[in-house]
Structure 1
Amino acid sequence: MELIKEIAVLESGRSAWQAMEQMINSGIQDAFFVMDVGEIVRRHHEWKLKLPSVEPFYAVKCNDSPMVLEVLNALGTGFDCASEGECAKVLAMGADPSRIIFANTVKPASHINFVAKAGVATLTFDNEEELYKIQALYPSAKLVIRIRCDASSAQCVLGMKFGVEVEDAFPLLETARALGLDVVGVSFHVGSGCSDPPVFQRAIQAARGLFDAAKRIGFEFTLLDIGGGFPGNKDSSLDNIADVVNSALKEFFPVGCGVRVIAEPGRFYVASAYTLATLIHSKRRVKNKDGTNSFMYYINDGIYGSFNCLKYDHAVVKPIPLKRSKANKEPAIGTIWGPTCDGEDQVTGPLMLPEMEIGDWFVFENMGAYTLPISCGFNGMPVPEVNAFADEKTLLELKNITTLNKKNDL
């Protein structure tokens, strides 16, 4: 893994947070990320412990940083790709095509042609028109029908755009059969950032029913893809969803039944691994009608940069004041604004904050999911750089895995 050379080693007993503070104290002025590589590795171990029968296929769209992909490739995850570009990026790292699912149910013809040539065999679908397209371009593909089963509460709802209604799935399978296509399984996605764990039981049960129905027309399904929706913030837990999934799989797809189970976690792996540090470059005092003051703080990142997650991922961010000035003033109402000339470029607020000064910093945790891939340079504002850190134990584990993988390839 060549990118391992770009990971800075944390001194014994030091954390990525302390490394961030050291960078701030060095006089840096630009907003920047700190990436804790060890957090991604720890998340992988947690997944394997709590969902041992479910293979993770990382959702590349969540954070397609080469560092993230290289680390996950070394750890042996699969990859959920949604475009030719994502497939190409993963394949360029040396990932085997069998470790990729092209999990976009509506694909441009050029993308289908690309994966056909590259040997990426597993593709999802949810409509009849897509079947005719695949039959014409890639008739030997291994297809997975995506059904709709929405969580009652999710950060991002996907069912309005993707997934065939369960009652309409069987006729779609009949069409696939008539076209001579090979459907190998069922997938679903309950919604990104799911907060309704029981939905997984309902979706897995519905998938079981479709497995049985498909058998009646000659299909022998061997793959179940339970999608994404797994939490990733530092204060979240995988336990509730894992309990529901494990129980449902035991009931409907027990070990030894011949069905491979995969999932598409994204934010679970990367959300908590990234921390963003932003500098207050300007400050504006506002006189309230009651005679008190409130403050507008302008930082060097905003909704066209890392905070695009506020609009596109429905994220809620929490500023952590990191003061460099010695002022000790009373808390006051404050709002935090991005650096562009767009009046909508507001990060958060109004909320009570200690009065900050120009040159102080706000730090934001849990910034690894659906942030950097969507950033742009509107108004000529730079996208924050990422500084990767890991302790010696993590680096040694990655080096050992990489060495073992190279030996196995000989």
Structure 2
Amino acid sequence: MTRCLDESDIVMVEEGFTTKDVLENLLLEVDQTGNREPFFVADLEEVVKKHLRLLKALPRIKPFYALKCNRSKGVVQTLAGLGAGFSCANKTEMALVKSVGVPAERIICASPCKQLSLIKYAASQGVQLMTFDNEVELGKVARSHPSARMLLCLATDDSRSSTHLSIKFGATLKTCRHLLETAKEMKVEVVGISFHLGSSCPDPQIFTQSIADARLVFEMGAEVGYKMHLLDIGGGFPAFEESRGRFEETSAVVNSALDLYFPEGCGVEIMAELGRYYVDSAFTLAVNIVAKKEVTLDQVSSEDEDPGGKKSFVYHLNDGVYGSFGSVIFNNACPIPILHQKPSPDQRLHSSSFWGPTGDGLDRLAEGVDLPELHVGDWLVFENMGAYAVPPSASLSSGPPARIHYAMSRVAWEAVQLLWGKLLHTEEEEEEGRESACTPLSCGWEITDSLCAAPVFAPASIM
């Protein structure tokens, strides 16, 4: 049975409070205790709003959250309570979603190249939905999980995305028929097609081409003898709040393409695997300066040199790329520090570079940033830190992972509880073989009765 996040795990705030307000209160407490370890403020209300916005903009799509982006338990429990599915790439992620009561029907094992132990573990947990893009993977699944239901992963044009997944994942159109024929020979059931455009795809028209390609492969599958009925359009949706207009544009393009190539009533269910979209803007990180030195001009790059004589400083923080700044390596992110204490306008600016706590040359966070002179003990704040920034355990940063403080308004909390209660009621009715009858919520939010049922997703292909 799905278990929602407990109220005791959340900082309850008044409606209208911002992450900055919560951060300020926490920093006041830190100053009193002297504990200057890094920490996150995670706005779970932002995650809930993103979920509802997605369901409203893309009503045919059943969202699956990609845990590889951020596996913090608060996010997982919140989305589980809202009825989202989960995309897992390893045993740890699968065990986490199972531990909060997510049924196997709402889990996809999404890596096209899986270790044999993962395939066997998925089989033992009743997880049937998996992806593949090569013959070797088909052979492993045929031997170790013959009841699996497979999605053929297509290569896409992700040349303008921030990550290029098609370099290593995805089958080309030229190889799809051969793979489908091979799957048929091995008696592996193929139930649909998947693709993934990479993080924050800047051109929504690429979705149109990818959906059109998927239609061609559906037709190939029919010729081979498969009746496929599941399309996974992956991720690539804009993540930041300021890109909301681009999200609406992308949604409109996706809806139009689906109506053209997979019209409603054609018997094909649509799902998506979203990670960054849900969490990037929801997490804010606070770190502390632990060391500082002034460097001479021959120690910095020529682009930092200033004939006017401004100084250059190197600062070391108590978190780095092997901890909460992993996105610097994984996604070529360029984190921008925000000063906790607002400087006076007459303070002179100096060239500043920021490094993590290790001695590794890769542990570089930002450089050439013009800021006033800072001091050991000062706090820096980094926004939009939810994607690929929350490490699961202690790492090379020589300390435990940054603590996460979850925050949500009372109105949002009540909305989540109502949605979770309806999901629980739906699950119980489904177990008893009765039809669910949802009613509108009355919690002050724009939530309709269609939203309470839409996220509950058990593809017919694996039931």
- Tell me the TM-score normalised to structure 1 length: 0.95
Q: Distance in 1 between matches of 2:231 and 2:427?
A: 28
Partner of 1:352: 370
8 A contact 1:323–1:356 mirrored in 2: no
Partner of 1:7: 10
Partner of 2:203: 196
Displacement of 1:69 in angstroms is 0.5
Q: Distance in 1 between matches of 2:352 and 2:292?
A: 10
8 A contact 2:393–2:400 mirrored in 1: no
8 A contact 1:193–1:230 mirrored in 2: yes
8 A contact 1:281–1:298 mirrored in 2: yes
- Which of 26, 37, 57 aligns to 1:30? It is 37
Displacement of 1:144 in angstroms is 0.8
What are the within-5 Å matches in structure 2 for residues 275-314 of structure 1? 275-288=284-297, 290=307, 291-314=309-332
The letter for the 1-side match of 2:252 is D
- Asked whether 1:361 is paired with 2:379, we answer yes
8 A contact 1:324–1:359 mirrored in 2: no
Partner of 1:113: 120
Deviation per residue, 1:358-397 (Å, 9 max, x gap): 3322111010011113674325233211011110011111
CA distance 1:326–1:279, shift in 2 (3 Å):
farther
Displacement of 1:325 in angstroms is 8.0
What are the within-5 Å matches in structure 2 for residues 379-398 of structure 1? 380-398=398-416
Displacement of 1:101 in angstroms is 1.2
Partner of 2:282: 273
- Asked whether 1:215 is paired with 2:233, we answer no
Partner of 1:246: 255
SS of the aligned residue for 2:78 comes to helix
SS of the aligned residue for 2:224 comes to coil
User: Per residue, is there more strand in 1 or in 2?
Assistant: 1
Partner of 1:263: 272
Displacement of 1:406 in angstroms is 3.4
Q: Distance in 2 between matches of 1:328 and 1:25?
A: 26
8 A contact 1:305–1:372 mirrored in 2: yes
Deviation per residue, 1:264-299 (Å, 9 max, x gap): 010000001100011223322234474331222222
What are the within-5 Å matches in structure 2 for residues 64-79 of structure 1? 64-79=71-86
8 A contact 1:123–1:144 mirrored in 2: yes
Tell me the C-alpha RMSD between the 2 structures. 1.9
Displacement of 1:2 in angstroms is 4.5
Partner of 2:444: none
Q: Distance in 2 between matches of 1:84 and 1:13?
A: 39
8 A contact 2:15–2:411 mirrored in 1: no
- Asked whether 1:168 is paired with 2:175, we answer yes
Q: Distance in 1 between matches of 2:257 and 2:427?
A: 37
Q: Distance in 1 between matches of 2:197 and 2:135?
A: 22
Q: Distance in 1 between matches of 2:372 and 2:414?
A: 42
8 A contact 1:299–1:336 mirrored in 2: yes
CA distance 1:209–1:408, shift in 2 (3 Å):
closer
Q: Distance in 2 between matches of 1:402 and 1:198?
A: 35
Partner of 1:338: 356
8 A contact 1:279–1:362 mirrored in 2: yes
Displacement of 1:408 in angstroms is 3.8
Displacement of 1:253 in angstroms is 0.6
8 A contact 2:322–2:397 mirrored in 1: no
SS of the aligned residue for 1:295 comes to strand
Displacement of 1:357 in angstroms is 2.7
8 A contact 1:62–1:369 mirrored in 2: yes
Deviation per residue, 1:38-58 (Å, 9 max, x gap): 000010011111111111111
Q: Distance in 1 between matches of 2:393 and 2:124?
A: 31
Displacement of 1:343 in angstroms is 3.4
Q: Distance in 2 between matches of 1:53 and 1:407?
A: 22
- Asked whether 1:155 is paired with 2:173, we answer no
Q: Distance in 2 between matches of 1:345 and 1:314?
A: 13
8 A contact 2:83–2:420 mirrored in 1: no
Indicate the percent of aligned positions where both proteins have the same amino acid.
38
Q: Distance in 2 between matches of 1:137 and 1:378?
A: 35
SS of the aligned residue for 2:47 comes to helix
- Which of 92, 103, 121 aligns to 1:85? It is 92
Q: Distance in 1 between matches of 2:335 and 2:397?
A: 23
Displacement of 1:234 in angstroms is 3.1
- Which of 24, 37, 43 aligns to 1:21? It is 24
Q: Distance in 2 between matches of 1:48 and 1:107?
A: 30
8 A contact 1:278–1:361 mirrored in 2: yes
8 A contact 1:151–1:196 mirrored in 2: no
Aligned residue pair count? 410
Displacement of 1:233 in angstroms is 2.4
Displacement of 1:72 in angstroms is 0.3
Alignment gaps of 5+ in structure 2:
298-304, 429-463
- Asked whether 1:94 is paired with 2:84, we answer no
Q: Distance in 2 between matches of 1:120 and 1:361?
A: 44
Displacement of 1:118 in angstroms is 1.5
Displacement of 1:324 in angstroms is 7.2
Displacement of 1:326 in angstroms is 7.7
The letter for the 2-side match of 1:198 is Q
- Tell me the TM-score normalised to structure 2 length: 0.84
Partner of 2:302: none
SS of the aligned residue for 2:179 comes to helix
Displacement of 1:84 in angstroms is 2.3
Q: Distance in 2 between matches of 1:254 and 1:274?
A: 37
The letter for the 1-side match of 2:42 is M
Displacement of 1:339 in angstroms is 1.8
The letter for the 1-side match of 2:12 is V
Partner of 1:140: 147
Alignment gaps of 5+ in structure 1:
none
The letter for the 2-side match of 1:294 is S
Deviation per residue, 1:189-236 (Å, 9 max, x gap): 122232222111111000001111211121111000011112212332
SS of the aligned residue for 2:26 comes to helix
